[in-house]
Each structure stands twice: as structure tokens, then as C-alpha cells.
Amino acid sequence: MKFFIDTANLDDIAEAQALGVLDGVTTNPSLMAKEGITGEENILNHYKKICDIVDGDVSAEVIATDFDGMVKEGEALAALHPQIVVKLPLIADGIKACKYFSDKGIKTNVTLVFSPGQALLAAKAGATYVSPFLGRLDDISTDGLNLIAEIRQIYDNYGFSTEILAASIRHTMHVIDCAKIGSDVMTGPLSSITGLLKHPLTDIGLAKFLADYKKGNE
């Protein structure tokens, strides 16, 4: 399972990268705004900074909602750095743009996916990644994990190579449950990765080992 971090915060990205388990980064316009990154030039520079920190794929989202605009923006994003993946919304023109980019060998991440039918369309358009938003479904009392399971079944039925990128992950149990279902990738905040480290018995056990070592070596 690949671990992506879902943020535009360079410190968080560097911390996850330093842990040695980071496979990539996803961003979106809201995450960029949260970091105060505004204006086309600053946003493009920020993507380059992210690519300099991580080794893996970095999703950069288009703002345009029409096919021509998405193609223009996506081509500029893809030209920025070989690690850039063009992130496209799941609307008709987004699917057309996904097909356009996949035919050209440019990686894509189809985002804002909330149903199995949408995920099927993204796979047929040749998406590299499909991003079902499980946390946002949970937020409205709908079973987000079930969506991941349904997409897994559909993709396995036909051998689609599109990778399921479980997005809108909120906590460690989302990560564990997605791993059980067989999601190819998860993207979440730093806390959803570092939270996996935590177990009180690990801390108690380590303290005991160190105390016993100290006693034996006094």
C-alpha cells in the first residue's frame, strides 16, 4: 500500500519523507490556500518545492472546468516536473481530459469521486489514480469504506490498472480499514501516518528494556 500525504505544508511533507515511508503527495486548491499559497506563479513554485522534498508522485489540481482549459493547465503542470500527476475533477470534461492525458502517457488523478459508477468512468478513461473521498462520505452518514470496497471489486472484476487512492482519510483506522480492503494508496494528514506508530505497550516495553539494560550495566 502506498502512503501519500494530503497537504501543501512543506514541514509536514518533509517529516513524512524523513520517516522513510512516504510514496507521494496530494494537494488541492483548499490545501494550497490553507498554506497561504496564492497566485499562479507561487502555486507552481510550491509544487516544485514539494517535488524537491519527495521522491514519488505529486498530484497538482487544475482549476479550469472546461476541456480546453484543463488540457492547457494540465500540460503546464506536467511540464513543471516529472513527478507531477495532473489532478482532474470527475465531471464530463474532466473525464475527457483524463483520456487525453492518459493517451499521451501523462499521469492523472481523477478526484472528487463519490460513487462506484464515477470510479468506473475514471478507469475507462485510463486514470492512473482514482480518488474516492471516504471521509466526506462518512461526514454525511454514508459508508465511505463501502465505496472503496465496491471500487476494489469492480476494478478486480475487469483487471483495471487504475490505482484506488483512498482520499479524505481522517485518522489511522481509515488507513487500516483501507489496507484490509486492498486500497492501492491512501492519502491523509501527517497524523494519520504518525498515529500508526502509537501503542502504549510499545512505550512500556521499551522503557522496561532500557531500565533492565541500565540495571545490568551499572
Active site residues: 87
Q: Least Å distance between CB 29 and ligand E4P?
A: 9
CA-based torsion, 194, 184, 116, 32: positive or negative? positive
The smaller minimum CB distance to ligand E4P, of residues 27 and 106, is found at 27
Any contact of residue 2 with ligand E4P (CB under 6 A)? no
Stretch near ligand E4P under the rule CB under 6 A, chosen from 38-46, 128-136, 199-207, 208-216: 128-136
Site stretch for ligand E4P (CB under 6 A), options 50-58, 130-138, 156-164, 201-209: 130-138
Query: Minimum distance from CB of 215 to ligand E4P (Å)?
Result: 47
Q: Does 6 bind ligand E4P (CB under 6 A)?
A: yes
String of contacts with ligand E4P for each residue 78-117, x by CB under 6 A: ---------------------------------x------
Q: Would you count residue 168 as binding ligand E4P (CB under 6 A)? A: yes
Give the E-state strand segments of the chain in sequence order.
Answer: 2-6, 24-26, 57-61, 84-89, 108-113, 129-132, 163-166, 185-188
Q: What are the C-alpha distances in Å from 115 to residues 42, 131, 142, 151, 154?
A: 34, 10, 11, 8, 12
Q: In the complex, what is the shortest distance from the CB of residue 134 to ligand E4P, in angstroms, rounded to a whole number?
A: 9
**Does position 187 bind ligand E4P by CB under 6 A?**
yes
Check binding of 183 to ligand E4P (CB under 6 A): no
Torsion of CA 144, 90, 7, 49, to 10 degrees: 160
Binds ligand E4P (CB under 6 A): choice among 136, 138, 182, 195: 136
Instruction: Report how far apart, in Å, the C-alpha atoms of 194 and of each of 5, 22, 123, 188, 202 are.
Output: 11, 11, 31, 11, 14
Q: Is 210 exposed, middle or buried, given 0-12, 13-18 or 19+ CB atoms closer than 10 A?
A: exposed
CB of 69 to ligand E4P, least distance (A): 20
Smallest distance from the beta carbon of 206 to ligand E4P, in angstroms?
33
Report the candidate in 100, 155, 152 with the shortest Cα–Cα distance to residue 123. 155
Query: Does 135 interact with ligand E4P (rule: CB under 6 A)?
Result: yes
Helices (H) and strands (E) in the chain, counts: 11, 8
In whole angstroms, what is the distance from residue 123 CA to residue 154 CA? 10
Query: What is the binding site for ligand E4P (CB under 6 A)?
Result: 6, 26, 28, 111, 131, 133, 135-136, 167-168, 187
